[in-house]
Structure 1
């Protein structure tokens, strides 16, 4: 036999310069730099000008540290929304922003002072605010570069900052709208207060942690009882886990409908037990349902007491009074404490009697206020009792566990007074902490500025819905409160996931009045003048206009004592007015961003209301709610059409990330190791609606998925080498396999479109990956390698294959662009280096492969191919049969009977093959040797010889190494062309 020819040069193998190794950490920064130099964001805006708008309003992160993994997830989700809406052809601008005021930044600047042993209070306010401004700007610049590195597209040269003068002026203007419509009041109510940070806190600034507290039972001797004489001299027992509130006690509360009993200690054996001997002969009034737990805390058993009386409240409680344990101090403590009915009193724990300190609890405040008992403001801002307070004056801090301990000053004094019945440090419960300082907070009554939730709004709101504020005669008529407006707006808003509606709804339904004031330096001032005689704040539109103009020109520093008279004008004398020095709650700042970002005109491409707000689920009580309340109070509706929330990123083992545990994942380091596209693929693969996980192991799995997607693009690029329009084939002329793959692509397209509409990015990414891995790499690419490599360039099958590959390429690179922003740019640029950015493209248009056969009449609608209907499973049956054939061949491969499926002769059950498929078509589908039909599936080695070019074993090949008819014709044509 003559020496065989090497036919490898005649095979049309894929050719591409697109590397298999991604090298993302090295490559991505260059792509990002090119986008910036070419102004891609502005190009996209120009390309989508005058199109339907989709506006995602960016919730402002605090400018006080490096980007963390939560930031990364949040911004990738936002970027995915913006890019997919842009891909659909909409004008979807993205203006990033930062929250620059408030305690987070002020606290960090104070930390720097403390390290230098400097006192912040000794620094002029303007100088201190300038340092806060500089600190915030530093982190704005830092986070901006980190987010750009993550591939987030946006107007990075023109972000919004709450500390920009224009922003501060708009925040002041929004505050004054509340003032002018009568929606502000100054009141003394208990608010959550941080003694460490010396300011009021909003619910959104508080996190709850489990702690162990001192629990005490304290006896208040009853001194007046109009109906039950036996109560006089008995002790009403209260139980509390905040002993520090007892020095501010002013009343006792009982539960209407609760049954109480007097317990008299009678067992003389107690005399030999010094720890309880002092209880002998005493009578205690407690709820009957709580007697056993009460006696256990005192170290008493049931047989040591008798029950001289049973009483069901409110019977006999009217007019009852008890004296404070420290009554001997006189003054505040001398007045007996009344018993008041409280619906909030339960028998879940304690004694069924609750001591009331209106300075330090909402229920306490409301009940006492209803009975004419006012706060006394005994606890200062730093958590210490006033220096002039009769008991423990100048001492504290009240949140210090040692101060409240059984051997601390409070318990020691109560024990000495004979009022401390029990004290232990074993009560575990959840307690509010400042999420910045991590210190415990207290409820503290202090004068603050509030927006009422339940006061009817008297004046017109900007853009009132359906002019609902006018009656038939045209006169203004209050119809709704802020709470009602907010709840209505929640019902009209789309929530993703849907459970968000109930979450924010329940919060708004039960929330107290909105506390606007903070006692700090770095923030937007509450620009109000209060009449010193009447206590009313000044409402004058001209004065307000001067205030807004001054802040627009000078920022928050415009609100100072030196400028006050000029702001008031000639009509008013500053001596008659108090200039409010509190600043606004930072949530009012961020809640006003819709006004100075969406409405200001600085970004004309935006619109109000926003189509979407997107943040973490904690923002139901934060930005989502403050924006809702601010907008409803000034505009009568929510500033958004839809709200999307995501869960929190946990460590790989499901635990919360913590630096102390060493289980944090730094996105900046991940980008240095893997690249930004890997973070993006991870963020869009998880079910963001729930808490989700990240770890090195998880990222390795994501990187493996990325490699598979990259290899799909690499194969398409190689297979399309030299493709031209002259080679394109009409769908009607294509083999059924190509039309089937195009039908699968159309199904994918529909799935992705729906996923975009649902903001279901986990489904989006999963469908894209599964299509590339299962439908293309493991199926279509595998089958068509033979035709692609060995058919003549002008053959129908090869032209059809390359045409479909071109369609796949244009579709997949677009689908992947919002996810893999850098890789898709690299892919697109490899094939079309002069065609501009992939991110300028729109959603692909696809050929109709299902209606590809012409009808019988001219002009008739093409008939639907029955085998390519969406509800038909013939191709699914064929693919299942293909898997079964592959599994049947595998044992022969392991035993080295065959080296590949091409050497296998296959018999398949005739009933398993749909009509219209030849044996040759089945062999092509199975990538096997000859196929025949029988009653069962079987596989043997074929006796056919192997073609020296395509390696198929065919009857027409006379000997191994010779050519089959197809290859012989192709090679002859190539030889003739040389």
Structure 2
């Protein structure tokens, strides 16, 4: 049917009202920002989530376990990406016939919340350390609860379904009880121990941090070259010589206990032959340096000349003097000779070929001296929890590595000045390098030796659950390869390598808001003593009973120690531990109090899927794996899906300072949540995702095209009833081809959703809806739908439209939750109706017909040539509309020609007539290079224009109704 308005003669009736034009109240303009909240309220009113649970009873469960966001601050676009992906997983699994459960949760303990309360205290002039710890914890609980409410509303606004009225919170009393219980399993099965080793330490937050709490940023550091005098050599070449070391942490020099070298590195003795008078390095100085690095080091020293006077003699049996040995005011602190030995971690890639060792502030050095059995001789406690040197440390007492605001303190400069005073400074400078920072305070970290509680990941777990290995590490690595499906598959490698190389898990934090390490240690006992830790099931049970009733605050109440120990032991003989658990242990334990303990959890205590960003390979995926392997003997999940980070349109990291952030709230206010969800579905989440104004505009344009497709279907089905339905066998080939495509797509959609390939699902459905339907099938069948009477052809087309409607709305409902609800309710009104209470309909596979599809692929190839030829005629203003044409189509292939003659090809090309021939194409015929053997010669249609359907036909005007063709006359009759 022509889209142009015809020139209707004045004596011809206006047939417009006789057409079957689409009728629908479904608006072209969505108005999502205003309308979506109404659907949210309606879903809550009719209880969609709970009704789905009733409907799904007896189905195979599917459990996506929610990685808990932190209850602190409004949502950012990364939160939205994560929760929308989770929602699409849950909804698609539910609509494909599973019992898909989703219990949202929040991480409520930890430093960020504690930090906020401390800020409030400081603003009021209060000292946190003078406030009762239970009162302080109650303030933290109240703060977290407030943000849980805010974030819950923000998540719901995105259309995310779940058990919102009963989420899980790590600060719920039962959760705190289970976290303590899971910790007690570590206590009882032998993997818990107390050790003193260097850990990542935040002087600003005064606590140890795990690797998952660390992020790396560029930092400008002091860098110094320092001289250690050689002791104990009879070789003239070494007498009076200095070993030179290089470090970017001058503050560690006061804690130096040795210098190490590598036995395979070539070292030389270098003598300075010329130097400025005011230089730190003087003429005649002898220096030991790695040959590969010597020239660069000497250049840093600004000497005028130097000579290599020989190979370094054997370094075995030597010692070195600390650069502060004998320094005025040193009070003998550094006068003892320092150790000098070989070490495997020394290289000649940078530095000097020698490494200064402060085992209290570096793991390589710590492990070297641990393995040598010398820890008691080399461990120092010079640095306090706030990053200040101990008050009684000579020369440097009270100097700070960092100021309370995280900026550079005075410790480094004090050490450098003292080295210069002692004549031991060789050179100095600054370097910009990647350096660990706290992801909360954003301040730099240090390595600091402190007593901490660890979970040994290479010690046999004494729990008898050894199917996948005896140690936590072995169980985790086996689980990764044998029990877990990874999406994308590359995620497996990342977690495997992290767990393969990781050290023991630091469980303790020196803070107040969290679940305490519920254990007691014997006074006077050493950590290596067998009775150092109290292991008593009765004591454990008392603790758990109290936590269930009162929460973890019970640990801090007056008389707690006596209450829990009871008469099991003499309370005076034991010390109560007040460190709190790493919050990653909290979230890593959620499988126990959510999947295992809740009625709506998981039947076997395992999740079908964990879904988080790539940073959670070192975070939640990691800690959950370690925790579960220590208590269950295996991974807590069967599948892991990882998504990338969100970037701006240029691929830059989002930052408030750059002004390139995109707020989910802003997007929903401007476009609606469905556009944000569509952005997620269109993106490849396995990499980083870009978002910004232009990208969202493009998403909205695509949405409008899809909405137009749905609107056309609704309008054409306005009065469709079961009486109009036609069986597939009675349909024309074109309709049966559409059914074939539906059968193909049904498989694509289901396999795609099962593989969490939302981009693939949406792209397949969108292309089908906008290209194969709107631009092909709908375009062809508009004429029959609008102009036919009650014909078999029109009934078949409307039957297909109904089948399309049933599938497109349910296929797209997990993605466009609001729009598909609107589409659904247009045809399925009712107080408790919802597309989200509906499953995807089963699509008969006998609709598939590959032979028919091949035939129609050939027909469409020829049609492309015809429509391209008509477009040229329209462009050249030869015609105004395709119905003015009656082209001659030359087709060389006999089989293709027979296929074209078996259908009404003029209807497919939307022309008034068409002539098919096997004759060779004349030279002037229109051709497309990619479709061989087809040529089109333009001819005008003969006859008059039907004033109802606008076809130009010879019989127009010869029927009872003036100005119409035979088909329209029959419809009017």
Which range, TM-score by smaller chain? over 0.9
Partner of 2:288: 285
Shift of the alpha carbon at 1:447?
0.3
Shift of the alpha carbon at 1:338?
1.1
Partner of 1:485: 475
Partner of 1:387: 391
SS in 1 for 2:62: coil
Is residue 740–residue 849 contact of structure 1 (8 Å, CA) maintained in 2? no
**1:475-554 alignment, distance < 5 Å:** 480-492=470-482, 493-535=484-526, 536-554=532-550
Partner of 1:237: 244
Is residue 897–residue 941 contact of structure 1 (8 Å, CA) maintained in 2? no
Shift of the alpha carbon at 1:306?
1.4
SS in 2 for 1:962: coil
Shift of the alpha carbon at 1:403?
4.3
**1:655-670 alignment, distance < 5 Å:** 655-670=652-667
> Is 1:927–2:910 an aligned residue pair?
yes
- 1:842-893 Cα distance to aligned partner (Å, 9 max, x none): 1212244646xxxxxxxxxxxx56223xxx3x32332233232222122322
> Is 1:626–2:612 an aligned residue pair?
no
Tell me the number of residue pairs that the alignment of Structure 1 and Structure 2 aligns. Answer: 930
SS in 2 for 1:266: strand
Match of 2:852 among 844, 851, 867: 867
Partner of 2:674: 677
Shift of the alpha carbon at 1:114?
2.6
**1:589-738 alignment, distance < 5 Å:** 589-603=586-600, 607-738=604-735
- Distance in 1 (alpha carbons) for counterparts of 2:281 and 2:13: 113
Partner of 1:827: 823
Partner of 2:424: 419
Moved more, 545-554 or 935-944: 935-944
SS in 2 for 1:898: coil
Is residue 920–residue 931 contact of structure 1 (8 Å, CA) maintained in 2? no
Shift of the alpha carbon at 1:694?
0.5
Partner of 2:928: none
Is residue 224–residue 322 contact of structure 1 (8 Å, CA) maintained in 2? no
> Is 1:764–2:752 an aligned residue pair?
no
Match of 1:458 among 462, 485, 488: 462
- Distance in 2 (alpha carbons) for counterparts of 1:543 and 1:587: 25
- Distance in 1 (alpha carbons) for counterparts of 2:303 and 2:401: 34
- Distance in 2 (alpha carbons) for counterparts of 1:274 and 1:957: 113
Is residue 225–residue 317 contact of structure 1 (8 Å, CA) maintained in 2? no
Is residue 199–residue 520 contact of structure 1 (8 Å, CA) maintained in 2? yes
Is residue 231–residue 318 contact of structure 2 (8 Å, CA) maintained in 1? no
Shift of the alpha carbon at 1:602?
4.4
Moved more, 917-926 or 662-671: 917-926
The 3 A distance-change label for structure 1 pair 142 and 865 is closer
Match of 1:436 among 427, 440, 449: 440
Structure 1 residue runs without a partner (length 5+): 469-478, 852-863, 973-978
Is residue 223–residue 323 contact of structure 1 (8 Å, CA) maintained in 2? no
- Distance in 2 (alpha carbons) for counterparts of 1:85 and 1:603: 16
Shift of the alpha carbon at 1:954?
1.9
- Distance in 1 (alpha carbons) for counterparts of 2:707 and 2:662: 25
Is residue 206–residue 510 contact of structure 2 (8 Å, CA) maintained in 1? yes
> Is 1:138–2:157 an aligned residue pair?
no
- Distance in 2 (alpha carbons) for counterparts of 1:541 and 1:890: 84
Structure 2 residue runs without a partner (length 5+): 1-8, 527-531, 922-934
- Distance in 1 (alpha carbons) for counterparts of 2:416 and 2:56: 71
Shift of the alpha carbon at 1:776?
0.6
Shift of the alpha carbon at 1:354?
0.5
Partner of 2:885: 904
**1:85-124 alignment, distance < 5 Å:** 85-124=93-132
Moved more, 280-289 or 876-885: 876-885
- 1:817-852 Cα distance to aligned partner (Å, 9 max, x none): 10011111111111010272111111212244646x
Shift of the alpha carbon at 1:605?
5.9
Is residue 266–residue 305 contact of structure 1 (8 Å, CA) maintained in 2? yes
Is residue 324–residue 336 contact of structure 1 (8 Å, CA) maintained in 2? no
Partner of 1:939: 938
Shift of the alpha carbon at 1:274?
3.2
**1:955-966 alignment, distance < 5 Å:** 955-958=954-957, 962-966=963-967
Partner of 1:888: 869
Shift of the alpha carbon at 1:275?
4.1
Shift of the alpha carbon at 1:325?
3.2
- 1:539-597 Cα distance to aligned partner (Å, 9 max, x none): 00010111111111111111125211110011211111110010000000000000010
SS in 1 for 2:387: coil
Is residue 323–residue 424 contact of structure 2 (8 Å, CA) maintained in 1? no
- Distance in 2 (alpha carbons) for counterparts of 1:327 and 1:13: 102
Normalised to the residue count of structure 2, the TM-score between the two structures is 0.93
Partner of 1:198: 206
- Distance in 2 (alpha carbons) for counterparts of 1:880 and 1:352: 72
- Distance in 1 (alpha carbons) for counterparts of 2:478 and 2:897: 57
- Distance in 2 (alpha carbons) for counterparts of 1:505 and 1:865: 44
Is residue 399–residue 410 contact of structure 2 (8 Å, CA) maintained in 1? no
Normalised to the residue count of structure 1, the TM-score between the two structures is 0.93
Shift of the alpha carbon at 1:237?
0.3
Match of 2:562 among 544, 561, 565: 565
> Is 1:397–2:387 an aligned residue pair?
no
- Distance in 2 (alpha carbons) for counterparts of 1:703 and 1:2: 44
Shift of the alpha carbon at 1:199?
0.4
Partner of 1:254: 261
Is residue 254–residue 354 contact of structure 1 (8 Å, CA) maintained in 2? yes
Shift of the alpha carbon at 1:931?
1.2
Shift of the alpha carbon at 1:916?
3.0
SS in 1 for 2:904: helix
- Distance in 2 (alpha carbons) for counterparts of 1:777 and 1:563: 72
- 1:686-724 Cα distance to aligned partner (Å, 9 max, x none): 100000100011111111111111111111111001111
- 1:755-791 Cα distance to aligned partner (Å, 9 max, x none): 1121111111111111111011111000000000111
- 1:35-79 Cα distance to aligned partner (Å, 9 max, x none): 111111000000001100111000000000111111100000000
Shift of the alpha carbon at 1:277?
7.1
Partner of 1:170: 178
Shift of the alpha carbon at 1:606?
5.6
SS in 1 for 2:208: strand
Is residue 584–residue 620 contact of structure 2 (8 Å, CA) maintained in 1? yes
The 3 A distance-change label for structure 1 pair 723 and 487 is same
- Distance in 2 (alpha carbons) for counterparts of 1:20 and 1:615: 36
- Distance in 1 (alpha carbons) for counterparts of 2:785 and 2:280: 99
Match of 1:805 among 801, 808, 817: 801
> Is 1:56–2:64 an aligned residue pair?
yes
- Distance in 1 (alpha carbons) for counterparts of 2:748 and 2:263: 59
Shift of the alpha carbon at 1:125?
0.7
Match of 2:835 among 833, 838, 842: 838
- 1:619-678 Cα distance to aligned partner (Å, 9 max, x none): 000000100000001111000001100000001111000011111001011111111111
Match of 1:150 among 130, 155, 158: 158
Shift of the alpha carbon at 1:394?
1.0
- 1:431-469 Cα distance to aligned partner (Å, 9 max, x none): 0000110000001000000001211223324xx53xx7x
Moved more, 163-172 or 24-33: 24-33
Query: CA RMSD, aligned part only?
Result: 1.8
- Distance in 1 (alpha carbons) for counterparts of 2:386 and 2:319: 36
